[in-house]
Amino acid sequence: MSSSSSSTDQFTAELQQIRGFIANGQLQEAAQALNVAQQRAPKDARVPLLGMRLAESVGNLPNATKAARRALALAPGWHVAQIELALLLARQKEADEAMRLAMEALANAPKDVQVMAGAINVAFFSGQTDQTLAWAEEGVRRFPDNAGVRLFLARHLSSLGRHDDAAAHLQYIHQRAPHHDETLKGLLNCALAKGDEAQAREYADRLLAVTPYDDTARYWHAVAHGQTPATQPPELVSSLFDDYAPNFDLHLVRGLQYRVPERVAQILLEKHPDRRFNLLDLGCGTGLIGFYLGPIEGFIVGADLSEKMIEEAARHGIYAKFHRVNVLDALRETPSDHYEAITCTDVLIYVGDLAPVIPNALRILKPGGHFVFSCEAASEDEADLVLREKVNRYAHKASAVERQCREAGFDEVIVEHLPTLRTEGGTPVPGFLVTARKPQVAPAA
């Protein structure tokens, strides 16, 4: 490739400076310098590749893809352009072309760990679980001491329920880097998933010693020591769902028989047959509620902590706006009497304590509006709020939730018990759906 002539020449230094501009968010400087670079070296594939990074940094995936294609046209067979284009295509669900390019890049640069990591991500974003596993295992064989690739494999194995295999890889990293917090978190999670409480406590203590001010470490420490924290730290939720986003719909809806958004859309349309209402979808995820509702006369606002889930939801083209926010903040900050409906499905299992949720939902709704939400069911002889530590999700007691809704001021509270909220390892997880109505007229003071 012509552009690889000299890595230390003046032009290369200029390109590195542009890369720095993009990384620092100096986008105007980057755009100006890129224009100059483009005029000076119109055949250098590195220039459009930087254009791709610039477009990507402002979330413009179509332009980023165009730029990556231009780079590849200028330098056919260049593994860097191949893998970058493959990653972009995989994010846009162009799985066939993405996988083909990833394979070509791997064949062209078998010793490049970045290409290996890129290919694993391409398979993952393309929803190819088997290929993701095969390439992650191949990556560990080729680059045994690369912690990133091994950590990815461990996480993937854990997500497949193979906690012993995951723990073996995590141990490998842990022995070489005993203070690596992500590895300790992984080991702690494996111990919790296997029900090994003593081991979980040990890892939790070590984790807290390494990162004493990290909210996630504090959370895991409390869990491993048998406490029930009121809620999960936002970073924990966003990283979980950023990883989960590409395969969420496929996994949850088809694999785990998750039907709640469909049912909720049905309830909302029964309440609003003319489709005239505004909806706040808390923890909107990939936008399944919007998908099942279809276009409505009002606007749908999605709130979620995970950027990648929001990216998926935006693809439906049904939501008017998204906020990347903790639902607890969204609930606190949204003005009163604002929405005809609020939904929150499969989210409170991560939010936990409903004390800040239910009264705010009531406040935000217009009179006569509905709050429709789902919970995993704790049995009536358990506590009102239970943390299922093996899976790290909260379960709520239906009678307590109903009481909280009535005490907050909802005047009609319908609880629909769902024997199968979704399945877990083939076993139904029971849950319930609540439809709570705000009174038409505020009760006299």
Q: Which is nearer to ligand SAM, 18 or 344 (CB)?
A: 344
Nearer to ligand SAM, 133 or 309 (CB): 309
Q: Which stretch binds ligand SAM (CB under 6 A): 125-133, 300-308, 402-410, 434-442?
A: 300-308
Q: Which stretch binds ligand SAM (CB under 6 A): 1-9, 269-277, 280-288, 426-434?
A: 280-288
Site membership for ligand SAM, residue 285 (CB under 6 A): yes
74 binds ligand SAM (CB under 6 A): no
Residue whose CB is less far from ligand SAM, 34 or 236: 236
Identify which of 366, 87, 374 has the alpha carbon closest to the alpha carbon of residue 252: 374
Residue 44 or 249 having the CB closest to ligand SAM: 249
Which of 78, 241, 277, 371 is close enough to bind ligand SAM by CB under 6 A?
241
Please state the closest distance from residue 326 (CB atom) to ligand SAM, in A. 4
Residue 395 makes contact with ligand SAM by CB under 6 A: no
Q: Which is nearer to ligand SAM, 102 or 347 (CB)?
A: 347
Q: Where does this chain touch ligand SAM (CB under 6 A) — which range of 94-102, 314-322, 323-331, 363-371?
A: 323-331
Q: Which of 439, 418, 440 is nearest to 264 (CA)?
A: 418
Under the criterion CB under 6 A, does residue 82 sit at the interface with ligand SAM? Answer: no
Per CB under 6 A, contacts with ligand SAM among 333-352 are 345-347, 350-351
311 binds ligand SAM (CB under 6 A): no
**Contact flag: residue 139 with ligand SAM (CB under 6 A):** no
Q: Which is nearer to ligand SAM, 174 or 308 (CB)?
A: 308
Binding mask 345-384 for ligand SAM (x = CB under 6 A): xxx--xx---------------------------------
Instruction: Please identify which residue in 116, 173, 327, 385 interacts with ligand SAM, judged by CB under 6 A.
Output: 327
Contact between 305 and ligand SAM by CB under 6 A: the answer reads yes
Find the residue with minimal CB distance to ligand SAM.
285
Q: Yes or no: say if 271 and 296 are a contact pair by the CB < 8 Å rule.
A: no
> Applying CB under 6 A, does 283 fall inside the site for ligand SAM?
yes
Minimal distance, residue 354 CB to ligand SAM, in Å: 12
CB closer to ligand SAM, 140 vs 289:
289
Q: Which stretch binds ligand SAM (CB under 6 A): 75-83, 132-140, 281-289, 365-373?
A: 281-289
Residue 130 beta carbon to ligand SAM: minimum distance, rounded to whole angstroms: 23
d(CA 300, CA 340): 11
Q: Which of 163/316 has CB closer to ligand SAM? A: 316
3-state secondary structure the chain: CHHHCCCCCHHHHHHHHHHHHHHCCCHHHHHHHHHHHHHHCCCCCHHHHHHHHHHHHCCCHHHHHHHHHHHHHHCCCCHHHHHHHHHHHHHCCCHHHHHHHHHHHHHHCCCCHHHHHHHHHHHHHCCCHHHHHHHHHHHHHHCCCCHHHHHHHHHHHHHCCCHHHHHHHHHHHHHHCCCCHHHHHHHHHHHHHHCCHHHHHHHHHHHHHHCCCCHHHHHHHHHHCCCCCCCCCHHHHHHHHHHHHHHHHHHHHHHCCCCHHHHHHHHHHHHCCCCCCCEEEECCCCCHHHHHHCCCCCCEEEEECCHHHHHHHHCCCCCCEEEECCHHHHHHHCCCCCEEEEEECCCHHHHCCCCCCHHHHHHHEEEEEEEEEEEEEECCCCCCEEEECCCCEEEEEHHHHHHHHHHHCCCEEEEEEEEEEEEECCEEEEEEEEEEECCCCCCCC
Q: How far is the CB of 148 from ligand SAM (least distance, A)?
A: 23
Nearest-angstrom CA–CA distance, 57 and 61: 9
Return the exposure string of 421-430: e unless at least 16 CB atoms fall within 10 Å of the residue's CB, then b: bbeeeeeebe
Q: Does residue 236 bind ligand SAM (CB under 6 A)? A: no
What's the length of the chain?
A: 445
Q: Which of 82, 128, 189, 306 binds ligand SAM (CB under 6 A)?
A: 306
For position 237 contacting ligand SAM by CB under 6 A, the verdict is yes
Residues in the site for ligand SAM, rule: CB under 6 A? 237, 241, 260-261, 283-285, 288, 304-306, 309, 326-328, 345-347, 350-351
